[in-house]
Amino acid sequence: MAPDARDQVTGDRGGAAAEELARFPTRPGAEATGRAPHAPRWPRDGSPDPGAPAGSTGPAMVPLPDTAGARDAVTRLHAYGCWYPSADPDGTQVAFICDRGGVPQLWAGPVNGEGVRLLDSAPDPVTEVSWSPDGRWIAYTTAPGGGEHARVLCVRPDGTGRRLLAGGGTAGAAHLGCWAHDGSVLAVTVASPALDTDGRPAVPEPDESAPTGRPGTLRWLDGKAGGHGDATPLDVAARPGEPGPVRASGGATVLRAPSARPAAGLSAYLVDPDGASAPVLLAAETHAATLRVCDLSPDGRLALLRRGPRGRREAVVRRTADSTVTFSMPVADGDPWIGRFSPDGRTLWLRSNADREYAALLAVAFDAHGRQRALTVAAERDDQDLELLSMAQDGRTAVLAWNAQGATELELVETFPAPPAPDRAGPARPVALPHEVVTRVAAAGSGRLLIGLSGSQRRPGIWWAHEGVSLLRTPWSSRDEDAVPPGRPPVRPAALRFTARDGLPLSGWYYRAPGRAAVEPAPCVLHLHGGPEEQERPVLAPLYHELLGRGLDVFAPDVRGSSGHGKSFVDADLGTGRFAAIDDVADCAGHAVAAGLADPTRLAVMGRSYGGYLVFASLVWHPELFRTGVAVCGMSDLPAFFAGTEPWIAESAVHKYGHPERDRDLLRALSPMNRVDALRVPVLAVHGEHDTNVRPAESERFVRAARERGVPAELLTLRDEGHDFLRADNRRLFRRSAADWLERHLLR
């Protein structure tokens, strides 16, 4: 990364808007809503920012019909999960995501009672939830059609007043940020589409040669009509999108590296959900990978943003009055909510792996101008990442979730004022957990926390803790009784540790099918997670349960590039290191065989997203190892992936995979399509029809190429799904189709 990349958050504001932002007069009616009289009010000036990306405009609020009437979905699932809790100010009510209606939807109800209610009965999956600090609104993000073009909405706690705040277009997207501490405004990030040379949205042309069979069914790809059948990609070489100079906070002029896609951008706005004020542009970037507003200081002077590509994220502190970047520091991938300001705004609590192998809790002290005065390490562990950081409602209790080789260890740390240095942290108090993995922690009134939990024996659920003493399961939380058939409980995985051919330590979780003797080599499915910066965790996976019930073992490893094993492990697959990651797959299979667990003649490989890419790659780099493969939403041609994906995803992926122009030869060499002649075994590809992260053409071209070479191949396209499969009926179809395929090729 360039040494001055920290100053590349652009979109400086000036004039009347900046002056008004600096004054923060009290919002009319603040006392009536319980808002402190001195709380900041955000300006009404919504004028365009000269530094904003082309096509960047403030989001327009759209009132939507109230969600009055029947609240429950027509069909209720017997087994469901609840996750992503967010509490009201006094902690008695909680909004959360639940899929009891067959799709993740927004629900709310009492923390310690029944009577939960559905707040939005629309069919669009909900992905994030945030209750406003003043209790008047619940903001949430949905994925229309299951795709990547998310939008941000808000609704009153009683289900009325539902309105669209940002997103909803066909070419852009919007993402949820934080609330101002008084609840007056919500930060949202709006992604503007890539523009071609005529200023029109640049999107891949449709693949006219692809078959048009009904999505949601298995279909053969003919591959004869229309020639090669590749989707027409954007001509990245013809439109490299070279950015102009950017003014850094220190006055220097810096140049960014060439973009991975035509000009696009991300813009962060402050939006008044009441509609009394026009949106205010807080920050903007062209050729952006990520841009999320994680916190605003209580007095509104400072904003904490998370920006940058995968593997090179940054925390940026920005003064709201004059848009000056006063502080930046590298932070780890993973949970985007990287930090929080102290109640007085002079200390930033930050989750960062800057200059260290594992992420730790840092305390950064600021002077009156928002510049760093001192920095201390408040909490750290030698071999564990701090993966979640939350603050209790008082702003003085930090909740730390440590990644202990895939499981979570939770602890509370009190902070104390220590001017002029950063706040001091007291001794850690561990919190006993009933399940292995914490997925989210949220404040729930004075002394209480809401904790999202998951584990190898349970579906995701929500628990609440009082004073950190004990955890109680919410009465409406996930229902587990019908998650698995009677007499076949979930399988607890065993941890395996071994080394790759080049000596790098690897690990994974092995699931043994019920009823099989420990010394009996079994048909085994090697399952590879996505990312690649994700991590295999010991949580209940319905897919694994389906495969285990068919008599198939499952081995789920972390190959190089996975998170949870330190920064060096995450970076070990960069550049030509990806060839070693492909070899890791073979080494994982070899270890399962050498340990006497897996039958070498009955091995399959399966994975989703980046794991899907590894499936394609493993089948053509190591064609002798596996009897079959199942690739889910995987990339088969990396240059085509860059041309077809969303602009912000392309920008984020450059560091991980390589630049589509400068590293074109490497990307071609790493593309499974470049070696498809080596394919020898049947393959099933699965894709969501609305996936704009990895376009369906990536699966289509590989399946078509396999068929042209006489290798059996099928494609399952799931309706109303994007990169993640969120609807219960589609997930069920996917699991059963994949299990049928694997059973047919491994057991018969």
Alpha-carbon separation of residue 609 from 310, 418, 528, 630 (angstroms): 15, 46, 9, 11
Q: Do residues 320 and 274 make contact, with C-beta atoms less than 8 angstroms apart?
A: no
Identify the segments of the chain with pLDDT beneath 70.
1-57, 66-78, 169-171, 193-264, 467-469, 479-487
Report CA 266 to chain centroid distance, whole Å. Answer: 17
How distant, in Å, are the alpha carbons of 495, 560, 580, 617, 680 from that of 503?
Answer: 19, 12, 11, 22, 29
- Alpha-carbon dihedral 692, 694, 699, 700, rounded to 10 degrees: 40
Radius of gyration for the chain, computed over Cα atoms and rounded to the nearest angstrom: 25
Query: Is the pTM here over 0.75, yes or no?
Result: yes
Contact, 721 vs 690, CB < 8 A? yes
What is the predicted pLDDT for the residue at 458?
A: 78
Chain centroid to Cα 607, Å, comes to 17
pLDDT tens, residue by residue, 508-519: 999 999 988 878
- What pLDDT shows up at residue 578? 97
Give me the DSSP letters along 72-109. S-SS--SSB-EEEEEE-TTSSEEEEEE-TTSS-EEEEE
* Angstrom distance (rounded) from CA 671 to CA 705: 13
Predicted pLDDT of residue 470 = 77
Amino acid at 552: L
- Dihedral sign (CA 667, 668, 671, 675): negative
Q: Please give, one letter per residue, the 3-state secondary structure of 325-376.
A: EEEEEECCCCCCCCEEECCCCCEEEEEECCCCCCCEEEEEEECCCCCEEEEE
Q: How far is CA 676 from the centre of its chain?
A: 31
pLDDT at residue number 221:
29
CB 590 within 8 Å of CB 584? no
CA 681/CA 701 separation, integer angstroms: 16
